[in-house]
Amino acid sequence: MNTAHPATPRFGAVWQRATHELQAAGLHFGHGVTTAADEAAWLLIHALGWPLADSFAALDVLLQREVPADAHERFDTLLGERIATRKPVAYVLGEAWLQGERFLVDERVIVPRSLIAELLWDGLDPWLHTQPRHIADICTGSGCLAILAAKRWLGAQVLGSDISADALDVARANVALHALQDRVQLLQSDLLKDLPDNEPGLDLMLCNPPYVNAQSMRALPQEYRHEPELALAGGTDGMDLVRRLLSDASSRLAPQGMLVVEIGHERAHFEAAFPRLPVVWLSTSGGDDAVFLVEAAALRSPA
């Protein structure tokens, strides 16, 4: 009697095979993780049901762990869906991770990846006059930045606003997931239009608006076409929403408040639109000119 069973595959071998498959499929990797290897690991760890945070504690141990048949099957289904649909992994799994926090996502919101997130812990400290108590996250989408800001500044009230009712439904689920209903409010508003008048004004306004220019929109890889166009398209030069935001923001900011805006690769368009506005470019993993900070005083008296 032949009692030999095929050996249970190890994490390392499955990971390597899947990485090759993702690479060979010619996908785009830009939604939270940026390589085929990272996507394969994320999918595999999810299929195994392991806590993501613990999974990379010891790589040599991880590589040798067994992948049971049921998890292997789940993994192959997820991998197949990623390749066949070209949906970002976050949509395939219904979750995204930003700064170590989990967010629920689906195609009503873009996949959380804002560079502003990495600045929240200490990247803004040199410019903050006080600990912010009143914060707004304009264009909140999944609510990720509003939630991270509330976790960073425990004494703050945070308002997350978006024009999209669908996005706000996702944000509401995330606020509940993080049990922040008492400190994160959500509001439907076209930019600042329906924000409540609040005295003494906002200490900090964050915004990751749609900023992709029309030419870049036409060239976006397939993965981005699963995201809402409303969340990406910023008009001919990408600056449609930034213009409106900058012209209205000062009326909502406290005298010493500040606005932090992500504009991706659009610095040239931004500087053409605002040639004399004094902004501070903040250094992020996406470069030194993807996010800027501007003080309320500068917005009140644009040069």
Chain positions 37 to 96 lying near ligand SAM, rule: CB under 6 A, are none
| Contacts for 95-102: CB closer than 8 Å, 24+ residues apart | 95/46, 96/31, 96/32, 96/142, 96/144, 97/32, 97/52, 98/32, 98/144, 98/148, 99/148, 100/53, 101/144, 101/147, 101/148, 101/151, 101/178, 102/52, 102/177
Asked if 208 is part of the footprint of ligand SAM (rule: CB under 6 A), the reply reads yes
Among 14, 33, 36, 139, binds ligand SAM (CB under 6 A): 139
Terminal-to-terminal C-alpha distance of the chain: 87
Confirm if 90 and 32 have CB atoms less than 8 A apart: yes
Asked if 231 is part of the footprint of ligand SAM (rule: CB under 6 A), the reply reads yes
3-state secondary structure of 286: coil
Confirm if 105 and 142 have CB atoms less than 8 A apart: yes
Give min distance, CB of 5 to ligand SAM, in A.
46
Region from 26-34, 46-54, 69-77, 137-145 binding ligand SAM, contact rule CB under 6 A: 137-145
Tokens of 291: 């996010």
Give min distance, CB of 230 to ligand SAM, in A.
5
Give the Cα-Cα-Cα angle 15, 18, 21 (nearest 5 degrees).
155
Chain positions 246 to 285 lying near ligand SAM, rule: CB under 6 A, are none
Among 135, 159, 167, 246, binds ligand SAM (CB under 6 A): 167
Torsional sign, CA 64, 69, 75, 81: positive
**Residue nearest ligand SAM (C-beta atom):** 141
Q: What is the DSSP letter of 197?
A: P
Asked if 159 is part of the footprint of ligand SAM (rule: CB under 6 A), the reply reads no
β partners of residue 212: 233
Asked if 32 is part of the footprint of ligand SAM (rule: CB under 6 A), the reply reads no
Q: What separation in angstroms does the CA of 250 have from each of 11, 46, 118, 192, 286?
A: 53, 44, 25, 11, 27
Torsional sign, CA 24, 28, 29, 32: negative
Among 210, 238, 257, 264, binds ligand SAM (CB under 6 A): 210
Torsional sign, CA 44, 168, 132, 123: positive
Site size for ligand SAM (CB under 6 A): 22
Asked if 162 is part of the footprint of ligand SAM (rule: CB under 6 A), the reply reads yes
Asked if 238 is part of the footprint of ligand SAM (rule: CB under 6 A), the reply reads no
E strand or H helix at 95, and its extent?
A: strand 95-98
Among 87, 89, 92, 142, binds ligand SAM (CB under 6 A): 142
Asked if 144 is part of the footprint of ligand SAM (rule: CB under 6 A), the reply reads yes
d(CA 235, CA 186): 26
Among 52, 83, 128, 163, binds ligand SAM (CB under 6 A): 163
Give min distance, CB of 173 to ligand SAM, in A.
14
Among 173, 187, 230, 280, binds ligand SAM (CB under 6 A): 230
Among 114, 174, 213, 250, binds ligand SAM (CB under 6 A): 114
Among 112, 234, 257, 264, binds ligand SAM (CB under 6 A): 112
Region from 18-26, 28-36, 40-48, 104-112 binding ligand SAM, contact rule CB under 6 A: 104-112
Contacting positions for ligand SAM (CB under 6 A): 109-110, 112, 114, 139-142, 144-145, 162-164, 167, 190-191, 208-210, 230-231, 241
